[in-house]
Structure 1
Amino acid sequence: MFVEVFIVGLLAGMSPGPDFFIVMKNSLGFGARVGILTSLGIASALIVHITYTVLGFAFLIETYPALFFTIQLLGAAYLIWLGFHAIRSSPPKKEEAEIEETQPIQSTKDSKSSIQGFKEGFITNLLNPKAALFFLSIFSQFITPQTADWVRWMYGLEVVVAVGLWFSFLAIFISYKHFRRFYQTHSYWFDRFLGAALLFFAIRIIIGAF
């Protein structure tokens, strides 16, 4: 059963969603360090989802639908904010593009700290209704009232490890210099695409909420 839960968690992390796109955006734009910290932020938020699910807080969401509705709208609002800033990306000036060709790979935008990357990953996952529903579905499929508490925690931590490892691998892979060099040349188009993707997921969340 532990293997099945790990595989399900890994597949859930691989599926395209807000977490996937925020890791791609930060890894391409700011390098592996920020991308990995973004991944750790996502994994840390999953611990919050595990905690309220194991402690039975999921019952509150089912009993008070307005609570889950509020979480959905907050998550959508945050994705809209991220997407709006990404989609406003503009092409670099000619002088910047010429300098870029002769310098080591760096972000063409303002630098982003590891803490900022962690915070973006954490908030994106924390306010992602998909993550909450995922743990509800996992626990309903693999856990019974007779399941020991330590087994429930182990199932949840398996998912955290699986998702954290996947996104960290993605951050390292996508930060490879050839990917980043290509990204820097066309960064404004990538940012607009990733911003549009985040807006798409925000719209889907809003439609689902109503």
Structure 2
Amino acid sequence: MYWTEFLTVALIHLLAVASPGPDFAVVVRESVAHGRRAGTWTALGVGTAIFLHVGYSLLGIGLIVSQSIVLFNALKWLAAAYLLYIGFKAIRAKPAAPGAETLKAEPVERTARGAYVAGFMTNGLNPKATLFFLSLFTVVINPHTPLWVQAGYGVYLAFATAAWFCLVAMLFSQQRVRAGFARMGHWFDRTMGAVLIALGVKIALTEMH
């Protein structure tokens, strides 16, 4: 009965999650800099944050945030500040010492908690994610759809997001890929830092419609 609605939700989500954004940038950076384990934990952090968005959308809190300029701006500036913070940290990367190329290809130790928090914060604080899930649960999903069915959609969205970014982490943490990025060294870190800063600025300039 709800298959058509579910497939619509799944398609919209696929298009949204596949488009590069803060989540993609942070998973790629963690995977290249720290290896598959860190990239996977970052992906799981992003996926878990989806439950946060789904939760307040079902409770109607998302609607309150979207209608309150103060709350929306608070969320927006928190997200922008976080992305700018990790972006500026990355952009300050220094060139590797001569002969350190082989060492660079090996993952730098990163705690699972640190990687997870990076993913969770990046997605959880993103006001665009707030607006996306709000529109999904108010426009795309019929308000008469039972709450347990909507919750089921939410579980799918969280797992699908985590699975997608785990694939991204797997790709960008492959030895050959990491070795290629390692040859670029600090320039890759600086480029990813610039991307994160640009995304932070873009979020900071986001206006409520």
Q: Scaled by the length of structure 1, what TM-score is found? A: 0.91
Instruction: Calculate the aligned-residue CA RMSD, in Å.
Output: 1.6
On the 8 A contact 1:5/1:158 being kept in 2, the answer is: no
Distance 1:104 1:62 in 2: 44
Aligned to 1:13: 17
Match of 1:201 among 196, 199, 202: 199
Correspondences of 1:1-210 after superposition (within 5 Å)? 1-97=5-101, 100=102, 105-107=105-107, 111-209=109-207
On the 8 A contact 1:83/1:195 being kept in 2, the answer is: yes
Distance 2:143 2:181 in 1: 50
Q: Deviations over 1:85-109 (max 9, x none)?
A: 0001111011434xx2xx69413xx
Q: CA distance change for structure 1 residues 27 and 61 in 2, over 3 Å: closer, same or farther?
A: same
On the 8 A contact 1:10/1:159 being kept in 2, the answer is: no
**Number of residue pairs matched?**
204
Q: Deviations over 1:10-34 (max 9, x none)?
A: 2211111000000000001111111
Distance 1:27 1:96 in 2: 19
On the 8 A contact 1:10/1:166 being kept in 2, the answer is: no
Q: Which amino acid aligns with 1:6?
A: A
Q: CA shift at 1:196, angstroms?
A: 0.4
Q: Scaled by the length of structure 2, what TM-score is found? A: 0.92
Q: Deviations over 1:43-92 (max 9, x none)?
A: 11110010000011123213422001100000000000000000011110
1:208 aligned counterpart, secondary structure: coil
2:96 aligned counterpart, secondary structure: coil
Distance 2:63 2:18 in 1: 28
On the 8 A contact 1:9/1:158 being kept in 2, the answer is: no
